[in-house]
């Protein structure tokens, strides 16, 4: 995990002020964030594929370098 330097300093200061560990502070913050419900009226985005949703022959979506080469060749 990489954190912005200023954010990390602020988190360390908060943890010290609350007499807790940085790990405990981060875990608590994550728990609070993950427990929040999305605001009312906000719908989750869903992607619906076309009827024939198959990849092109020879395309390996797990090989990003090869995929990029293929995409560059289509321009």
* C-alpha to C-alpha distance for 34 and 12, rounded to whole angstroms: 21
C-alpha torsion 74→56→63→49, nearest 10: 110
Predicted pLDDT of residue 18: 96
More confident site: 59 or 27: 27
On whether the CB atoms of residues 70 and 59 are closer than 8 A, the answer is yes
Quick one: average pLDDT of 32-53? 77
């Amino acid at each position: 995990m990489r954190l912005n330097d200023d954010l990390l300093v602020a988190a360390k200061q908060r943890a010290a002020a609350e007499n807790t560990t940085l790990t405990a502070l981060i875990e608590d913050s994550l728990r609070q964030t993950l427990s929040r419900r999305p605001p009312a009226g906000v719908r989750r985005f869903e992607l619906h594929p076309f009827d024939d949703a198959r990849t092109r022959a020879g395309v390996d979506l797990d090989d990003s370098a090869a995929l990029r080469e293929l995409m560059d060749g289509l321009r």
